[in-house]
Structure 1
Amino acid sequence: MQKTIFITGASTGLGKATAKLFHSKGWQVIATMRNPEKETELNQLQNIVLLPLDVTNSDQIIQTIKNVTNHFSIDVVLNNAGYGLIGALESLTDEQILRQIETNLMGVIRVSKAFTPHFRENKKGLFLNITSTFGLIGFPTCSVYSATKFAVDGFSESLASELVQFGIQVKIIAPGGMQTDFAVRSMDVGQHEAYTQLVAEVSKGYSAEALANYTKVEDVAQIVYEAARDNKNQLRYVAGNDANALYNERISSGAETQVENIKKMFTF
């Protein structure tokens, strides 16, 4: 029987790669994005339905999911929509901070809440929530971004225990660096002269040379696909060589030691 996945933020990057992969595996794909009228690839594929969805618009979330669940039985929800906010805390405006929280955290919470009755009534369903390496490990200039991703991690862990009684699973995918245009397309930045040296040092991780060593987005999409169908009671899937190296370091040396090591890297 054909299964159906609902994806947020499917216009580019991991969202689009995941939509293509699930489509190639015979799934029905509901791909949502803010401006589906601009999409030129997914709209050429059968069994992919494109819908407008801005995850900061709570009314649109409720109405869109109501319409979708009236016409489809959803098996998997991929909460993927999000972007990066990079800069020292002093450099960020309230507007930037609130927009980051609305998109990266409240979007996940609202979409999950709207789909939960559908899953509960069907006595099955899976939420796959995209976090980040920086949802497991703190890093300079990522304080607010990490706040949202750590929050999604904690939200997902708590929700998993809350919904297990109804046969609903919650899983977390935590990618490291990916070979996408995320750093250009999906990045908001703050500038403050007191942190020029720090930002320059951190920015080396977003260089073309560094990007070439990151994980291909298609490989992360494959991990998403495996998490959707492996039937494991696994909560976290760390995706990418750099992500696994950092996470394994935290496990082996402990969080306190890792935090001190990161501080030393940026003590000028």
Structure 2
Amino acid sequence: YVHLVAEAMRRAFADRAEHLGDPDFNLDMPLDKLLSKDFAKKRFENLDMSKASTSDPAQFGHPYDGENTTHFSVVDKDGNAISMTYTLENSYGVKMGSEKLGFIFNNEMGDFNPVPGKTTSTGQIGSNPNLVAPEKRMLSSMTPTIVAKDGKPYLVIGSPGGRTIINTVFQTVLNVLAYDMRIDRAIEAMKIHHQWLPDRILYERNLLSPDTRDALEKMGHTLTPTTTIGVLMGITYDASKKLYTGAADSSSEDGGARGY
């Protein structure tokens, strides 16, 4: 499971770096192709279930992200849902704000690709779609998500976590939809992160078993431990029981689930 998910992440982040950036500056982004099942099948033609792929720094990857991001999910009594992620990038943004507007300014400029054409094995990317330019928005990892069922919100989910956000949300959605986990269990389940470059699997040290780590290393994966990945806040709705269930990641010091 970890090998397959990591290889999916590797390919998705490579495609992201090659093609995605501010759509006002990238009019030819192949979104239909990237979202198609035929393209997904093609990307997995070179997948070896017994061996890790190699991330080539001469190709594509993903830039640096800060981790000072917040997420909340809300559903009201009428079923209207909000999944909201907002960020300052690094602590207190640029450490300036507007008294008139009432918020602190972020320092998201670090999310642009810094040097044209320079891509390194440590994760610095130089592909064209996300290079800095006047009036251009930088690529973000924020992934607020609402999954609908029969036209109504079924799963509302999101997380902070810088570059890990996409994969954190992806795995939680997978846990709920594919493995039928209750939202709190889906949030607390083991998470990994692979972003193509650096070529490594980031894993939660207390949740990935030693025998699984050994098996992955024998496949050629490089593993890097971390304490936690993501701080998820989610809600699911059971239409048959007319029941909302909310859950907050236990790693959040000030997070929680509340009903009114």
Q: Normalising by structure 2, report the TM-score.
A: 0.27
Q: Normalising by structure 1, report the TM-score.
A: 0.27
Which has the larger share of strand? 2
Which has the larger share of helix? 1
